[in-house]
């Protein structure tokens, strides 16, 4: 199996992709009203900078969301019918004239609905708190303290009706997940994600990109796509979504406005062979541990690995490891071999 991976330096509001050319979008845009993204938004729309200087939070928030709306319209164009879009976004708290919360997740959901997407049940990603101080505002006395935001949203949208596959489609059933993975992954609260598996050569890049941990897009890629699909991240950052797609046996495309961030992927993609083997081995080992600890009799056996499975849909599950990484004029081409386990 071969996959291709391309990153374009450009603007998420003008994707260099054909209509209906991707099966899954996994992205985390700049969060409106989070200060680290002010300059990015102001460069795209000078009125945002004017509103912030005037302490007009409502107007700044509306203009920031309008910038993202143009990107979501492009997502609607390139996402195939039945394709899934997952948007990781957090709400923001900020004082401009007065303190308030800015509801990014609700406004983005409204934007996708206006484009004809169907919202699906999403996930609350509970992130580790950065500080032992759990309060904002007046501390230990009522009534002027504020709840600390320790979660972000994974908003899930489908572009029309469900995707259709030929009965028994091999690539779909090989891409199955284990029964216990399904129960954990499709929970509406995630609090079990690990941190980054690797560091970037430039420590400033992760901070500038706001990168999420690899396990987040890796999980989503396995949940909402099949082998050979193309996964898009229009706010690419340092390419964590593309790396997740690569080790999961999917092709990828990304758009990033900062050339320095885009170039960081040159080193990251070289880790794909070892990373793909590690992830496959971990998933298989975790499943075998689950089988040993369940105390149940399993009716089915996996065809490619020496382990029982709980359902018939898991029988053909198969992992792939990256065997070779080749840089091309347009990006990277990866060869994937079956993981023997």
SS3 sequence of 200-268: CCCHHHHHHHCCCCCHHHHHHHHHHCCCCCEEEECCCCCCHHHHHHHHCCCEEEEEECCHHHHHCHHHH
Say if CB 341 and CB 305 are below 8 A apart: yes
CATH number at residue 287: 3.40.50.150
In the chain, count H helices and then E strands: 12, 16
Taking CA atoms, 167 is separated from 170, 171, 173, 177, 234, in Å, by 9, 11, 10, 18, 32
Q: Of 70, 113, 65, whose CA–CA distance to 89 is shortest?
A: 65
**CB contact set of 289 (below 8 Å; sequence gap of 6+):** none
Say if CB 98 and CB 136 are below 8 A apart: no
Beta bridge pairs of residue 333: 4, 326
Report the pLDDT value the prediction gives residue 324, as an integer from 0 to 100. Answer: 97
**CB contact set of 308 (below 8 Å; sequence gap of 6+):** 291, 298, 299, 300, 301, 302
Report the pLDDT value the prediction gives residue 182, as an integer from 0 to 100. Answer: 98
Say if CB 255 and CB 22 are below 8 A apart: no
How many folded domains does the chain comprise? Answer: 1
Report the pLDDT value the prediction gives residue 130, as an integer from 0 to 100. Answer: 52
The residue segments making up the domain with residue 188 are 2-338
Alpha-carbon gap, residue 243 to 254, rounded angstroms:
11
Report the pLDDT value the prediction gives residue 150, as an integer from 0 to 100. Answer: 87
Report the pLDDT value the prediction gives residue 203, as an integer from 0 to 100. Answer: 53
Alpha-carbon gap, residue 309 to 305, rounded angstroms:
10
Report the pLDDT value the prediction gives residue 247, as an integer from 0 to 100. Answer: 98
pLDDT beneath 70: ranges in the chain? 128-138, 194-210
Say if CB 214 and CB 197 are below 8 A apart: yes
Q: What is the pTM of this model?
A: 0.93
């Amino acid at each position: 199996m071969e996959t291709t991976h391309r990153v374009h330096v450009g603007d998420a509001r003008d994707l260099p992709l054909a209509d209906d050319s991707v099966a899954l979008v996994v992205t985390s845009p700049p969060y409106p009203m989070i200060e680290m993204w002010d300059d990015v938004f102001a460069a795209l729309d000078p009125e945002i900078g004017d509103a912030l200087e005037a302490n007009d939070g409502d107007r700044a928030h509306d203009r920031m969301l309008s910038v993202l709306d143009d990107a979501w319209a492009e997502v609607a164009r390139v996402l195939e019918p039945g394709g899934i879009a997952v948007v990781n976004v957090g709400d923001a708290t900020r004082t401009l004239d007065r303190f308030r919360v800015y509801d990014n997740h609700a406004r983005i959901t409204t934007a996708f609905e206006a484009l004809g997407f169907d919202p699906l049940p999403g996930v609350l990603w509970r992130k580790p708190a950065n500080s032992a101080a759990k309060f904002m505002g007046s501390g230990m006395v009522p009534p002027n303290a504020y709840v600390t935001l320790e979660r972000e949203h994974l908003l899930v949208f489908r572009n029309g009706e469900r995707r259709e596959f030929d009965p028994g489609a091999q690539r779909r059933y090989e891409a199955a997940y284990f029964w216990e993975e399904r129960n954990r992954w499709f929970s509406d609260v995630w609090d079990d994600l690990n941190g980054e598996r690797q560091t970037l050569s430039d420590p400033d890049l992760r901070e500038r990109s706001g990168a999420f941990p690899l396990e987040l897009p890796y999980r989503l890629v396995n949940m909402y796509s099949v082998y050979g699909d193309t996964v898009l991240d229009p706010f690419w950052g340092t390419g964590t979504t593309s790396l997740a797609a690569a080790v999961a046996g999917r092709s990828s495309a990304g758009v990033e406005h900062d050339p320095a961030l885009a170039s960081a992927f040159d080193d990251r993609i070289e880790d794909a062979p070892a990373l793909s083997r590690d992830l496959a081995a971990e998933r298989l080992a975790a499943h075998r541990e689950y089988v040993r600890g369940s105390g149940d009799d399993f009716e089915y056996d996996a065809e490619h690995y020496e382990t029982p499975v709980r359902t018939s849909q898991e029988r053909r599950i198969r992992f792939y490891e990256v065997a070779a990484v080749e840089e091309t004029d347009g990006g990277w081409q990866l060869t994937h071999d079956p993981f023997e386990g």
